[in-house]
Structure 1
Amino acid sequence: MPTPPPTGPLCTRATLASDLRALGVEPGETLLVHSSLSSLGWVCGGRVAVVQALLDALGPDGTLVVPAHTGDNSDPKDWGNPPVPEEWWPAVREATPAYDPLTTPTSGIGVIPEAVRSWPGALRSAHPQTSFAAVGPAAAVLTAGHAQDCMLGERSPLARLEKADARVLLLGAGFDSCTAFHLAEYRIPSPVAENGRAVMTPQGRRWVTVRETSVSSDRFDELGADYERDRPVVRGTVGAATVRLFPLADAVAYAEKWLPVHRPGDV
């Protein structure tokens, strides 16, 4: 059978930038973007056009930030999608490449963050599992000082984004992808977990285990629905995608109150 024609709408760098401006993205601001390329429609230029459009809307004084996570640099005992045989675990721990901010690709978060990570001038934070990448004048400040034992807390780019009055753009992504909510988990009583990963040390590559606040996106979709009901969230469309735009600090403050009530088992 013949391949069916692509479904629209047709999106270009120019139309995407226009939609972003109409939504309310402002030149000069700092924007944390969670994204889904497939939600936009048929994008001429793919992921590159989307990044170009975001940078066009932000202008030369704005800064684009994305999660650049590397969830596969983790202990194989925790893998479930898919799991690997227990007899493989020692070999996997021994062979996993050490995290390198310059070369380690993103994993599990879509193709747009990978395009930003490799963008000319992009900077990336140092955490071997939950790094962020940024392009723009504030990139160095936002990505600096990401502590190895603080995935998404006070010594991560999320806290720096909060201080910078950044906004969050969910570009075809749901609230279950909203990393800002994780910052709230560090500000309420939360369990602690041990996480293993391959890192580069002055002595060379090492497999290390670190105790960190345990983070989970469980019920973030419900948290987001309540947040959107109670707080001023801009909602619109970019291409075919449903898009939400809101202040990061406001979302974190709301989550700090919501999580202890609705996820009391975590406390």
Structure 2
Amino acid sequence: MSTPPPTGPLVTRDTVAAQVRLLGVETGEILLVHSSLSSLGWVCGGAVAVVQGLLDALGQTGTLVVPTQTGDLSDPALWGNPPVPEEWWDRIRATMPAYDPLVTPSRGVGVIPETVRGWPGARRSAHPQTSFAALGPRAAEIVDSHAPDCRLGERSPLARLERLGARVLLLGVGYAACTSFHLAEYRIPSPLVRVGRPAPGGGWETVTEVSITSENFAELGHDFERDRAVVRKRVGAADARLFPVADSVAYAERWLALHRSREDEIPTATGSAPASGDPAPPGPGRRRRT
């Protein structure tokens, strides 16, 4: 049985660069990209070509930022996609390799962020579950000093992106992938959880963190796009959206305060499921709040 030909469209490095410029991406800016390679069409060169095209659009003075999260470095008691037998939990906690920003692969955020992570000159933040990687002259300023007990809050790259006037590019993904909304969760009353993960020196550790969830982000994004200036165009076959980080955080802070009831919260729990607004990884999954 022959393989059917690709349906396209054909997307190249030049396609990406030209079409994100038409969307409004500017030379020299800071761009936080959440992406889906498969949404673009048939990409000549795959994720490498997409990263090259984004860098071409940003120029030598621009900075590209992506989530490189590792939600699988979490308590196996909370895994659900798929779960693992309870008799394995202690052994998994005892033997799970600790996070290493140089070698630990990203998980659940797609192949484009993973390509950026391994790009020459890329810098990656130090948080063992919710890291970001960046390429460009502002990379160190954005990703350095990511506090180990602040997944996506005031001492994370998200707050720096907000202060630096960065914009978000949703490339073939919806608002469920918009990590900047999580920064707003740190600015409204939110429950705390005990987050478990492998310790840097070996063994297991827990830290107290703000509980986060992307459960309502699609609805939040719908209202944000209705009420604020979000630029929408196509890049290849993908629906693309461009908007400032600061606008999304400010809107989300007001929206979440109105729409999240205390009934949505869960009691403090030990451990963590993957903590990102991005698609859940195929392995360890997440609960409503983490």
- CA separation in 2, counterparts of 1:49 and 1:254? 33
Secondary structure of 1:52's partner? helix
2:231 matches 1:229: no
After superposition, what is the alpha-carbon deviation per residue over 1:63-93, rounded to whole angstroms, capped at 9, x for unaligned? 0000000010000011011111111100110
Q: TM-score, normalised by structure 2?
A: 0.90
Query: Alpha-carbon deviation of 1:110?
Result: 0.6
In the alignment, is the contact (CA less than 8 A) between 1:33 and 1:168 conserved in 2?
Answer: yes
Q: What is the aligned counterpart of 2:202 among 202, 205, 209? A: 205
- CA separation in 2, counterparts of 1:118 and 1:54? 16
Secondary structure of 2:202's partner? strand
Q: Quote the residue 2:95 is aligned against.
A: 95
Q: Which amino acid aligns with 1:223?
A: L
- CA separation in 1, counterparts of 2:55 and 2:83? 38
- CA separation in 2, counterparts of 1:6 and 1:187? 46
- CA separation in 2, counterparts of 1:188 and 1:150? 15
- CA separation in 1, counterparts of 2:203 and 2:140? 27
Query: Alpha-carbon deviation of 1:199?
Result: 2.9
Q: Which amino acid aligns with 2:253?
A: E
Query: Alpha-carbon deviation of 1:206?
Result: 3.0
In the alignment, is the contact (CA less than 8 A) between 2:99 and 2:128 conserved in 1?
Answer: yes
In the alignment, is the contact (CA less than 8 A) between 2:95 and 2:203 conserved in 1?
Answer: no
- The answer to which structure, 1 or 2, has the higher relative contact order (CA under 8 A, 6+ apart) is 2
Q: Which amino acid aligns with 2:240?
A: V
Q: Which amino acid aligns with 2:56?
A: D
- CA separation in 2, counterparts of 1:14 and 1:53? 6
Secondary structure of 1:140's partner? helix
Q: TM-score, normalised by structure 1?
A: 0.98
Question: Which ranges in structure 2 are unaligned for 5 or more consecutive residues?
Answer: 266-290
- CA separation in 2, counterparts of 1:254 and 1:80? 31
Work out the number of aligned pairs and report it: 264
Q: Quote the residue 1:174 is aligned against.
A: 174
Q: Quote the residue 1:58 is aligned against.
A: 58
Secondary structure of 2:222's partner? helix
Q: Quote the residue 1:150 is aligned against.
A: 150
In the alignment, is the contact (CA less than 8 A) between 1:128 and 1:199 conserved in 2?
Answer: no
Percent of aligned pairs with the same amino acid? 69
After superposition, what is the alpha-carbon deviation per residue over 1:49-76, rounded to whole angstroms, capped at 9, x for unaligned? 0000000000000000000000100000
1:14-25 → structure 2 map (5 Å cutoff): 14-25=14-25
Secondary structure of 2:233's partner? strand
Query: Alpha-carbon deviation of 1:2?
Result: 1.2
Q: Quote the residue 1:163 is aligned against.
A: 163
2:74 matches 1:77: no
Q: Which amino acid aligns with 2:206?
A: T
After superposition, what is the alpha-carbon deviation per residue over 1:21-63, rounded to whole angstroms, capped at 9, x for unaligned? 1111000000000000000000000000000000000000000
In the alignment, is the contact (CA less than 8 A) between 2:101 and 2:126 conserved in 1?
Answer: yes
- CA separation in 1, counterparts of 2:199 and 2:142? 21
In the alignment, is the contact (CA less than 8 A) between 2:190 and 2:211 conserved in 1?
Answer: yes
Q: Quote the residue 1:251 is aligned against.
A: 248
Secondary structure of 1:211's partner? strand
Q: Give the aligned CA root-mean-square deviation in angstroms.
A: 0.8
In the alignment, is the contact (CA less than 8 A) between 1:13 and 1:44 conserved in 2?
Answer: yes
Q: Quote the residue 1:194 is aligned against.
A: 194
Q: Quote the residue 1:240 is aligned against.
A: 237
- CA separation in 1, counterparts of 2:123 and 2:198? 20
Q: What is the aligned counterpart of 2:260 among 252, 258, 263? A: 263
After superposition, what is the alpha-carbon deviation per residue over 1:91-141, rounded to whole angstroms, capped at 9, x for unaligned? 110111110000000001110000000000000000000000000000000
